[in-house]
């Protein structure tokens, strides 16, 4: 099986919503949201139950699903450019078709476009100068689906804490994630870092990765590259004037988006922007193999922004792209991807798992790989998602054909080789489902399998640690990073704790000769941290198991782990002190039943 290609960040959809489906709900209300004139579905419309203060978002087919307590609940559907609509609930009725009407258009200024074009340049300039400084944190849900010939071949799904600053999402911290991929004729398609694009497609700056839009250009550049006209004007529910500007590039170079911009003329706020480009000449996609080529890409992006108490902040972006790809064997395929990210419960966040990444550049697949799959979270959570009438995500993830993060990351970090070990202990199989084939450097949760790092060669093109050099002391030429993951979740009146000892390949390096003593040293340290993880769980089990107590116990044990690390590294000296290595090996053998000395240094095992 071969990996088709990897993507640098590509984007999604974000809408600030409250939570979904309260525990006391009496029934589920569902239906479709349609344009009243065309009868076409409205994707990513907001559905909000004012009575329960819970929300939902419609899918690409306009389908929505939300909880209700009684027929007195007030459920409101909204979509920028359309009048809000209240769903009149009736007892015993569960399905509703909601028809939204476009906002009434004032024609007094529409049609005098040519003489007013200078005004539109000034309006865009005023919006650029009036960029908001609003900052808030919120929960966020992310979903990406890729298709080939209408057949789904990829799913990436995750919950995050989002840091939002004005129009932009500055940071996404993973709470829990899952992914599934389905091979197509021996090839898999992966969007490795797609959620990062949300921070790489700014509204008013040129990222260098996407076509330009009018909001990025100065007055001279605007006049040179764009024709701008007003297509609509209306009053919103606050009686503010909203202008809809249509922009069309003067050249068909693939370097400029076309689309529309909804502007609150009264407050000089951007409310919504659509960006489209067929055959884009600038994009963040890269093939994995140099001999592969991307023959063409079409992009369609819609972003919306919410106003609250006179302030505006990021609300929604949906990202749809089609990639025409040719691999090194001459095979051609076209992949369609829909990506969505939305935030909800503004000013509230998840309790984050205790696990730190050393770089913001680590993408979705690797972050999801680092966290053990959390069955409790995915089975019990009541967090909102894009409405799904047939629960397709769960079915796709659980399909036996799909390769998921429960199955494809059971291999070794990319700087580790496979080796058959004696006595059938810790033998690795060269399995095509191995995460090593998908990620060059996957994280690895502890198991009885043994890890074998490749020997570092000075002529290697791998980046060196900042302290590597001719005069470097031995202790600075290696580092073994093993972290203990902890995640605590409470849903359905139950609190669940998940822990794991995780080998971090991005913080680990070994610039010294690699031999069996070094292998024994490395694996024994991994085992010792697994023992510490079990001690942590035992201490938590003996406590009152409140979240506060759990995190306090974790902090106390973290101090002990660092002390253990210093002691072990000092005593064992990378496996050169055999007596000390044997002492620690006995502790591992007693607790875990693993004899690293027997595996790696059988000739030196004491009788």
What is the arithmetic mean of pLDDT over 84-98? Answer: 92
The answer to which of 215-224, 300-309, 431-440, 573-582 has the lowest mean pLDDT is 431-440
List CB contacts of 489: < 8 A, sequence separation 6 or more. 351, 374, 376, 377, 380, 381, 495, 496, 498
Percent of the chain scoring above 70 in pLDDT: 84
Cα(364)–Cα(197) distance, integer angstroms: 11
Q: For position 541, what pLDDT does the model report? A: 92
Q: For position 470, what pLDDT does the model report? A: 35
pLDDT in tens, 342-380: 888 888 999 999 999 988 888 889 999 999 999 999 998
User: Ranked by mean pLDDT, which of 141-145, 525-529, 574-578 comes out on top?
Assistant: 525-529
Cα(321)–Cα(433) distance, integer angstroms: 27
| 332 against 127, higher pLDDT | 127
Q: For position 381, what pLDDT does the model report? A: 86
pLDDT band at 13 (very low <50, low <70, confident <90, very high): very low
Candidates 474, 497, 472, 479; CA nearest to 487 is 497
Quick check: 605 pLDDT over 80?
no
Q: Please tell me the number of Cα atoms within 13 Å of 23 on its side-chain side.
A: 7
What is the arithmetic mean of pLDDT over 541-566? Answer: 93
Q: For position 87, what pLDDT does the model report? A: 93
| 27 against 153, higher pLDDT | 153
Quick check: 103 pLDDT over 60?
yes
pLDDT band at 108 (very low <50, low <70, confident <90, very high): low
Bridge partners (DSSP) of residue 165 are 135, 168
Q: For position 461, what pLDDT does the model report? A: 43
Quick check: 502 pLDDT over 50?
yes
Give the DSSP letter string of 397-462: HH-TTSEETTTTT-S--TTB---PPGGGTTPPP--TT-GGGT-SS--EE--SS---BPPP-TT--S
pLDDT in tens, 307-339: 888 889 988 889 999 999 887 788 888 999 999
pLDDT band at 15 (very low <50, low <70, confident <90, very high): very low
Quick check: 70 pLDDT over 90?
no
Cα(196)–Cα(144) distance, integer angstroms: 12
The answer to which of 36-40, 78-82, 83-87, 290-294 has the lowest mean pLDDT is 290-294
List CB contacts of 234: < 8 A, sequence separation 6 or more. 103, 104, 105, 106, 241, 242
Q: For position 250, what pLDDT does the model report? A: 95
pLDDT band at 67 (very low <50, low <70, confident <90, very high): confident
Q: For position 413, what pLDDT does the model report? A: 36
Cα(46)–Cα(104) distance, integer angstroms: 20
What is the arithmetic mean of pLDDT over 481-486? Answer: 96
Q: For position 188, what pLDDT does the model report? A: 80
| 421 against 128, higher pLDDT | 128
Candidates 264, 261, 259; CA nearest to 235 is 264
Q: For position 538, what pLDDT does the model report? A: 96
The DSSP output letter for 394 is H
Q: For position 432, what pLDDT does the model report? A: 35
Q: For position 308, what pLDDT does the model report? A: 82
Q: For position 356, what pLDDT does the model report? A: 93
Give the DSSP letter string of 104-162: PPP-SSTT-HHHHHHHHHHHHHHHHHT----EEEEEEEEEEEEEETTEEEEEEEEEEEE
Q: For position 53, what pLDDT does the model report? A: 82
| 552 against 237, higher pLDDT | 552
Give me the chain's average pLDDT, please: 83
Q: Beta strands of 222-268 (E only): which ranges?
A: 226-235, 241-249, 259-264
pLDDT in tens, 178-234: 999 998 877 788 888 778 877 788 899 988 899 999 999 998 999 999 999 998 899
Q: What are phi and psi of 249, to 5 degrees?
A: -70, 150
Quick check: 493 pLDDT over 90?
no
Q: For position 110, what pLDDT does the model report? A: 46
Q: For position 350, what pLDDT does the model report? A: 95
The answer to which of 15-29, 43-57, 151-165, 255-269 has the lowest mean pLDDT is 15-29
The answer to which of 99-108, 304-313, 349-358, 456-465 has the lowest mean pLDDT is 456-465
The answer to which of 76-80, 324-328, 429-433 has the lowest mean pLDDT is 429-433
């Amino acid at each position: 099986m071969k990996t088709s290609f990897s993507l640098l960040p590509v984007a999604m959809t974000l809408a600030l919503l409250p939570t979904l489906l309260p525990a006391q709900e009496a029934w589920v209300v569902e239906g479709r949201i349609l344009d009243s004139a065309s009868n076409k579905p409205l994707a990513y419309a907001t559905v909000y139950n004012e009575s329960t203060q819970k929300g939902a978002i419609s899918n690409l087919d306009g389908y929505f699903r939300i909880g209700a307590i009684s027929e007195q609940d007030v459920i409101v559907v909204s979509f920028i450019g359309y009048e809000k609509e209240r769903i009149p609930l009736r007892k015993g009725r569960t399905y509703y078709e909601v028809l939204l009407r476009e906002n009434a258009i004032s024609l007094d200024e529409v049609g005098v476009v040519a003489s007013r074009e200078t005004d539109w340049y000034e309006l865009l300039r005023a919006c650029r100068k009036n960029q908001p400084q609003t900052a808030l944190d919120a929960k966020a849900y992310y979903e990406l689906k890729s298709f080939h010939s209408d057949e789904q071949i990829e799913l990436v799904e995750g919950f995050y804490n989002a840091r939002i600053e004005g129009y932009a999402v500055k940071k996404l911290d993973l709470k829990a994630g899952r992914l599934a991929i389905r091979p197509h004729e021996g090839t898999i398609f992966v969007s490795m870092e797609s959620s990062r694009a949300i921070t790489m497609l700014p509204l008013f700056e040129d990222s260098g990765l996407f076509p330009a839009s009018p909001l990025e250009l100065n007055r001279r550049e605007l006049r040179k590259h764009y024709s701008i006209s007003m297509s609509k004007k209306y009053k919103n529910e606050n009686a503010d004037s909203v202008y809809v500007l249509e922009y069309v590039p003067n050249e068909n170079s693939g370097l400029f988006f076309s689309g529309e911009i909804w502007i609150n003329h009264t407050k000089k706020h951007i409310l919504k922007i659509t960006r489209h480009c067929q055959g884009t000449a600038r994009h963040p996609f890269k093939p994995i193999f140099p001999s592969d080529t991307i023959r063409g890409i079409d992009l369609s992006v819609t972003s919306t922004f919410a106003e609250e108490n006179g302030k505006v902040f990021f609300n929604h972006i949906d990202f749809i792209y089609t990639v025409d790809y040719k691999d090194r064997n001459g095979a051609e395929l076209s992949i369609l991807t829909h990506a969505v990210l939305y935030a909800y419960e503004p000013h509230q966040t998840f309790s984050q798992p205790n696990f730190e990444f050393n770089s913001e550049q680590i993408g979705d697949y690797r972050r999801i790989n680092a966290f053990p799959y959390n069955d409790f979270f995915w089975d019990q959570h009541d967090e909102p998602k894009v409405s799904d009438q047939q629960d397709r995500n769960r079915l796709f993830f659980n399909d036996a054909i799909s390769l998921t993060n429960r199955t494809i990351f059971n291999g070794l970090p990319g700087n580790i080789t496979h080796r058959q070990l004696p006595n059938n202990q810790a033998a690795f199989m060269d399995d095509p489902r191995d995460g090593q084939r998908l990620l060059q450097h996957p994280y690895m949760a502890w198991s009885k399998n043994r890890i074998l790092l490749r020997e570092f060669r000075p002529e290697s093109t791998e980046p060196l640690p900042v302290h590597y050099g001719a005069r470097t002391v031995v202790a600075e030429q290696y580092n073994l990073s093993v972290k203990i993951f902890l995640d605590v979740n409470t849903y359905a009146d139950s609190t669940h704790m998940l822990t794991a000892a995780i080998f971090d390949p991005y913080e680990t390096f070994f610039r010294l000769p690699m031999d069996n003593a070094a292998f024994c040293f490395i694996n024994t340290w991994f085992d010792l941290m697994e023992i510490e993880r079990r001690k942590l769980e035992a201490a938590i089990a003996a406590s009152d198991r409140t979240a506060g107590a759990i995190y306090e116990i974790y902090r106390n044990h973290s101090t002990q782990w660092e002390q253990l690390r210093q002691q072990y590294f000092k005593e064992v000296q990378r496996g050169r002190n055999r007596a000390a290595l044997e002492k620690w090996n006995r502790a591992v053998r007693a607790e875990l039943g693993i004899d690293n000395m027997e595996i790696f240094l059988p000739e030196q095992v004491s009788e």
